[in-house]
Amino acid sequence: MLLIASSCTTAKKAKEAEQAKKTAQANGKSKTNGKKNGVKPYDKVITEDAKTDTGLFDVHEIDGKYFYEIPDSLFDREMLMVTRISKTASGLGYGGSKQNTQMLRWQKKDKKIALRVVSYEVYAADSLPVHEAVVNSNFEPVLYTFPIKAFSKDSTKTVVEVTDLFEKDVKALGLSAGARKRYKANRLEANKSFIETINSYPMNIEARHVKTYASSEAPSNQSTGTISIEINNSMVLLPKEPMQRRYFDERVGWFARGQVDYGQDVQRSKEVSYLDRWRLEVRDEDMEKFKRGELVVPKKQIVYYIDRATPEKWRKYIKQGVEDWQVAFEEAGFKDAIIAKDPPSPEEDPEWSPEDVRYSVVRYLASTVRNASGPHVSDPRSGEILESDINWYHNVMSLLRGWFFVQTAAINPDAQRAEFDDEVMGRLIRFVSAHEVGHTLGLPHNMGSSVAYPVEKLRDAEFTQKYGTAPSIMDYAR
Ligand SMILES: [Zn+2]
């Protein structure tokens, strides 16, 4: 508690304190009653009781209150905020479903810190005169402001309290507008909403908080008249220099994003679309080799870690599905562009976490959901894929069992039993793994591939043994 930290010796001060106390009571919350501007010495705010997690910003927790210590170098930098539901009651969709993605920046304004929303939907290169007009018509909305609480001893960092940002109903960081409407969830129940954890990593901060909304149409547990969800806000620092874009061509199916560009040399504003893709670059010392047509290992490989929770016997098949993509990158001149790895053990690296944005992970989820999904997070300015965590639900195996049985059991002894051999199931797992990884590389479904082979070829054993039943792994092939 920061309430009335200074001792009051004069009557005036006592009166002021009394007034502040009243105001605080009226607001139903504690308020800083420091000097005029509220800025206090560092160790009066970040006390000895603080639990500190160092990272992008240092995060301090004191008695349920959370503080960010923001380095000057990170003010005005562009950051991406991804809001997902991490846990939910039944009927509210899968854990992991995205609610909102926004670009933000932290700004220092006099004695305040502002968190602003950055829009990249309209754009003009900053070298062009029209850039100013675009900036003026895209005034960045303020999401939240924070009074400065303290400065670090060397005054290069600023401390603000962020408890309210996550405990109050900040709409951009909570349940999506669509879901609020659907469940008639219009009021936050403050006494049933709280911060679970805030963890800081070198490139990102992960905040988890439980939000309870009064709801007249809750999809489950209707007697409570509320819905509770756990939200995960992932704030990721974007690269200073955005990657070069690759523009979308409608002849090639790819996940793309759009933007209106006013700086193009055409007599109208132009909508441009560019691809979501990984940043694969040639190392300087390999450039000559690359130009000669020799395969080179990229500057930064795409690495997928296989969740520690994955049953031992399936791991190698999931890994094979990841590395099956190596041949595709070889066509582009790279070898070992994508690899699968076991994560370090807690003894080897106690800091390693699947939530750390530096690591892409195939998450193994103990859930009856019969599915797997391959989402990714990308830089809205360039389409650079920053990270991807594939969700692998345990019961995707029942789905595979059903498919394989229906499609092949009439003639396939392997499929004519209740439990498949591990080797058979392993191959099916490898198929799904490669398919999901394909999504995270930027490929959408290619259901058109189902009609690529003529029917008589599908009835030709020699043909299907060589080419399978569909030419694309991005097809469901059923
Ligand atoms: Zn798919």
CA of 388 to the centre of ligand 1 (A): 15
Looking at residue 373, what is its pLDDT?
78
Ligand 1 centroid–CA 276 distance in Å is 16
- What SS3 class is residue 377? strand
CA of 254 from ligand 1 middle (Å) equals 13
pLDDT at 109: 87
- Answer whether 215's CB lies under 8 Å from 185's CB: yes
Rounded to the nearest angstrom, the distance between the alpha carbon of 335 and the centre of ligand 1 is: 25
Give 404 Cα–ligand 1 centroid separation in angstroms: 17
| Separation of CA 85 and ligand 1 centre (Å) | 21
For residues 163 and 65, what is the distance between their CA atoms, to the nearest angstrom? 6
**ipTM for the complex shown:** 0.99
CA distances from 36 to 16, 39, 40, 241 (A): 11, 8, 10, 40
The Å distance, Cα 444 to ligand 1 centre, comes to: 7
CA atoms within 13 A on the CB side of 392: 31
Distance of CA 376 to the CA centre of its chain: 7
Q: Where are the alpha helices (DSSP H) in 116-195?
A: 130-136, 163-167, 177-182
Pairwise CA distance, residues 75 & 68, whole Å: 13
pLDDT number for residue 20: 47
SS3 category, 76:
coil
pLDDT of 19: 52
Per-residue pLDDT of the chain (478 residues; tens, 9 = 90+): 333 333 333 444 444 545 544 444 444 344 444 445 689 999 999 999 999 999 999 999 999 999 999 999 999 999 999 888 877 765 565 556 677 888 999 999 888 999 999 876 656 666 667 667 666 666 788 999 999 999 999 999 999 999 999 999 888 888 888 888 888 887 888 888 999 999 999 999 999 999 898 888 777 666 778 888 888 899 999 999 999 999 999 888 898 877 666 555 666 666 788 999 999 999 999 999 999 999 999 999 999 999 988 999 999 999 999 999 999 999 999 999 999 999 999 899 888 888 788 899 998 877 777 777 777 889 988 999 998 988 888 888 888 999 899 988 998 999 998 889 999 999 999 999 999 999 999 999 998 898 999 999 988 989 988 998 889 999 987 6
Question: Ligand 1: distance of its center to the CA of 392 in Å?
Answer: 12
Other beta carbons within 10 angstroms of residue 58's beta carbon come to 19
Compute, in angstroms, the gap from residue 309 CA to the centroid of ligand 1: 23
Distance (angstroms) between ligand 1 centre and the Cα of 370 equals: 13
Q: How far away, in angstroms, is 133 Cα from ligand 1 center?
A: 41
How far away, in angstroms, is 94 Cα from ligand 1 center? 16
DSSP string across 53-64 = E-SSSEEEEETT
